[in-house]
Structure 1
Amino acid sequence: MWVKELTAINFKNYAEVSLAFTPGVNAFTGDNGAGKTNILDALHYLSLCKSYFNPIDSQQIKQGTDFFMLQAVFVKDEQHDLLACSLKRNQKKQFRRNKKDYQRLADHIGVYPLVMITPNDSVIVTDGSEERRKFIDNVISQTDNRYLDDLIFYNKCLLSRNMVLKQQTEAGRYDDELLGVYNEQLVSVGQQIFEKRKSFMSKFVKIFNNHYRFLTDDVEKVELVYESQLLQKDFKLLLQESIKRDRALERTTTGIHKDELTFSISGMPLKKFGSQGQQKSFLIALKLAQYSFLCEEKGFKPLLLLDDIFDKLDEKRIKKLMKMVSDDDFGQIFITDTSTERVENTFRDIAMDVRIFEVVSGTIDAAIKEYGQNE
């Protein structure tokens, strides 16, 4: 799968831009703030129906305008699909495939899978467990269109149960029968989500370990562990045992919304004891494992977006990463960097088509250089 061309109108800092891509590597170079990352985010938007960085759709509209529009041609199995997304202020977002509206955006997730690696990914290590659950959910959602529906339903049930807990506690009257209805709903869908997460992690950990060993020459031992209360006890029993605590705190304290991924290095927490280089290698291995998992599950190669990673990695890790992505295991790649020369030097000896675009303050006139195996 690859993107043949992209048009963006009033998207972030772009008034209008139209680009034609190569199936190999497409690099965007220019100063910080010029808009390189916004091109990658436009691709993310068309693939997953949302921005990678900002969940508020209206904030993607260029300042001083009333709408944005994105359009691209995705090629998969020789079929050309025209994807289009548009949003007018104070109106509903529209998403079309070959000029037909989607009834549910969830039906689009996973059709054109994508993996993005950015400096922002550090929150997966440094922030709370929600970020790590988001990572799991993002991967599974691109391979299982029922999973996202289950997750949405679970969160609605969870919100309702928490509201009932709060209302009953404030009133001083408890209705076990009403709470039991929400318990049954949570258990039913929560168990399905748990089983899918557990199955996913049993495959994913092996893929992750292989990528991490390659990136670091297997010089240190790391662990990626899935933790869930449901690994120890039945969900229904957990809810029954926690009812006093739930009422005291006015919220549901057990369930798959408490699931966690733990990262460790040499038996110690990565967040506290891992160096910056070790944390970066761990994150890149996570994302490359995501790519490999999606490729295996979907049967074709997703898009790979690498945002400003050359600045964040030492030369050894860059060479390792580039050696990996230059293999036939990877398909179309999009890269941003501040240095055109660094991109040229990095890919000069790699047998992949490379097209370099120079970005200047929200404008991209044309590819400034192209070379590679077909040169």
Structure 2
Amino acid sequence: MWLKNITLLNFKNYSDANISFSKTVNAFVGNNGAGKTNLLDAIHYLCLCKGYFNPIDSQQIKTAEDLFLIQGDFDRKEKNEKITCGVKRNQKKQFKRNKKEYDKLASHIGLFPLVMISPYDTNLIMEGSEERRKFMDNVISQTDGSYLDELIFYNRHLQNRNALLKQMSITRSYDPSLLEIYNDQLVASGNKIYAKRQQFMTEFIPLFDQYYRFLTEDKEEVNLQYQSQLADVSFEQLLLQSIEKDKVLERTTTGIHKDELVFTIRTTPLKKFGSQGQQKSFLIALKLAQYAYLQRYKGFKPLLLLDDIFDKLDEFRMQKLMEMVSHDDFGQIFITDTGRERVMAVFQKIQVPITLFEVVNGSIQHA
């Protein structure tokens, strides 16, 4: 799979842009604030129906305009696929494949798999467990449409149960029959999600280990572990055990919405004891494992987007990364960087051709 071209209208700082890409490496160079990352975000929209950095669609519309439009032509399994995303202020987002609008956006997820590596990814290490669950859910959802549906069901059941707990607190009344119904719904969805997360992590962890060892030449011992309350006690039992606590706090305190990915280096938390270089290597290995996992299940190569990572890596790690992603295992790649000469030097060294674009204040031209 590869993206042949993209058209932007009033998207972020772009008034009007139309670009054709190569099948291999495409690099956007220019000063900070010129709009390089915005191009990657537009590609992310086409593949996953939303931006990578900001979930609010209306905030992506160019200042003083009423709408934005992104359109791209993909070669997917040797067929042309036209994807269109349009957002008007105060209106529902329109998303079309070959001019036919989707009934639900979830139907699009996974058709055009994508992996993005960005400085923003430090949130996976530094922020709370929700960020790490989102990462896990994003990967699984791109390979399993029923998983995304189950997540939606689970969150709906969780909201219902939490609303009942709050109502019980206000009215000082206890409705065990209704609570039992919500418990059964939550358990049914939660058990399916837990099983799929378990299966995913069994396959994902060896991929992660492989890439981390390559990036660091096996010099560091790190560990990625999936933790869930359901590992030791059934979900039904957990809900029964926690009911008094739930009533006091007016929310559901146990379940798969509390699952965690634990990152450690030499058995200590990566967040506290990992150097910047070690944390960056960990994050890149996570994303490359995501790429390998998606390729395994989709049967073709996802898009790989590398945002401003040359600035964030030392020369050794940058060289190892470029050696890896320029291998035949990877397909179309999009890169942003402030230094034209640096990008050219990196790819000349590993003898990989690139297509270079210069970005200046929302305009793009071949460099």
Category of TM-score, reference length = shorter chain: over 0.9
SS at match of 2:193: helix
SS at match of 1:225: strand
Contact 1:109 1:142 in 2 (8 A): yes
SS at match of 2:131: helix
> 1:367 and 2:366 equivalent?
yes
SS at match of 1:164: helix
Q: By how many angstroms is 1:350 displaced?
A: 3.2
Specify the alignment match of 1:85 in structure 2.
85
> 1:19 and 2:16 equivalent?
no
Contact 1:96 1:102 in 2 (8 A): yes
Specify the alignment match of 2:67 in structure 1.
67
Q: By how many angstroms is 1:239 displaced?
A: 0.3
Specify the alignment match of 2:275 in structure 1.
275
Q: By how many angstroms is 1:172 displaced?
A: 1.2
Which amino acid counterpart does residue 366 of structure 2 have in structure 1?
A: A
Task: Give runs of aligned pairs for residues 89-108 of structure 1, distance below 5 A.
Answer: 89-108=89-108
**CA offsets per residue over residues 247-269 of structure 1, 9 Å max, x none?**
01111000000000000000100
Structure 2 Cα separation of the partners of residues 223 and 242 of structure 1: 30
Specify the alignment match of 1:129 in structure 2.
129
Structure 2 Cα separation of the partners of residues 93 and 310 of structure 1: 34
SS at match of 1:348: helix
**CA offsets per residue over residues 182-217 of structure 1, 9 Å max, x none?**
000000001000000000000000000000000001
Q: By how many angstroms is 1:349 displaced?
A: 3.4
Q: By how many angstroms is 1:135 displaced?
A: 0.3
Specify the alignment match of 1:251 in structure 2.
251
Contact 1:263 1:270 in 2 (8 A): yes
Identity %, equivalent residues? 61
CA RMSD between the two structures: 0.7
Specify the alignment match of 1:337 in structure 2.
337
Which amino acid counterpart does residue 41 of structure 1 have in structure 2?
A: D
Q: By how many angstroms is 1:352 displaced?
A: 3.5
Specify the alignment match of 2:217 in structure 1.
217
SS at match of 1:318: helix
Q: By how many angstroms is 1:351 displaced?
A: 4.3
> 1:190 and 2:194 equivalent?
no
Structure 1 Cα separation of the partners of residues 21 and 237 of structure 2: 54
TM-score by length of 2: 0.99
**CA offsets per residue over residues 65-97 of structure 1, 9 Å max, x none?**
000000000101211101101111111111111
Q: By how many angstroms is 1:111 displaced?
A: 0.1
Q: By how many angstroms is 1:310 displaced?
A: 0.2
Structure 2 Cα separation of the partners of residues 350 and 58 of structure 1: 41
Which of structure 1's runs of 4+ aligned residues deviate more than 3 A? 349-353
Specify the alignment match of 1:294 in structure 2.
294
| Count of aligned pairs between the two proteins | 367
Structure 2 Cα separation of the partners of residues 306 and 174 of structure 1: 53
Contact 1:326 1:351 in 2 (8 A): no
Q: By how many angstroms is 1:367 displaced?
A: 1.2
Q: By how many angstroms is 1:169 displaced?
A: 1.5
Specify the alignment match of 1:317 in structure 2.
317
Structure 2 Cα separation of the partners of residues 112 and 265 of structure 1: 34
**CA offsets per residue over residues 203-244 of structure 1, 9 Å max, x none?**
000000000000001111100000000011110111011101
Q: By how many angstroms is 1:353 displaced?
A: 3.3
Specify the alignment match of 2:113 in structure 1.
113
Specify the alignment match of 1:284 in structure 2.
284
Specify the alignment match of 1:236 in structure 2.
236
Which amino acid counterpart does residue 237 of structure 1 have in structure 2?
A: Q
**CA offsets per residue over residues 340-361 of structure 1, 9 Å max, x none?**
0000001113343311100001
**CA offsets per residue over residues 301-326 of structure 1, 9 Å max, x none?**
00000000000000000000000011
Q: By how many angstroms is 1:170 displaced?
A: 1.8
Specify the alignment match of 2:326 in structure 1.
326
Which amino acid counterpart does residue 323 of structure 1 have in structure 2?
A: E
**CA offsets per residue over residues 268-296 of structure 1, 9 Å max, x none?**
00000000100000000000000000001
Specify the alignment match of 1:57 in structure 2.
57
Structure 1 Cα separation of the partners of residues 157 and 328 of structure 2: 44
SS at match of 2:290: helix
Structure 2 Cα separation of the partners of residues 119 and 32 of structure 1: 14
Structure 1 Cα separation of the partners of residues 144 and 288 of structure 2: 19
Gaps of 5+ in 2: none
Specify the alignment match of 1:372 in structure 2.
none
Gaps of 5+ in 1: 369-375
Which amino acid counterpart does residue 196 of structure 1 have in structure 2?
A: K
- With 329-338 and 81-90 compared, the bigger mean Cα shift is at 81-90
Structure 2 Cα separation of the partners of residues 35 and 337 of structure 1: 11
Contact 1:86 1:94 in 2 (8 A): yes
Which amino acid counterpart does residue 234 of structure 2 have in structure 1?
A: D
SS at match of 1:277: helix
Structure 2 Cα separation of the partners of residues 40 and 356 of structure 1: 14
SS at match of 2:305: strand
Structure 2 Cα separation of the partners of residues 77 and 240 of structure 1: 49
SS at match of 1:359: strand
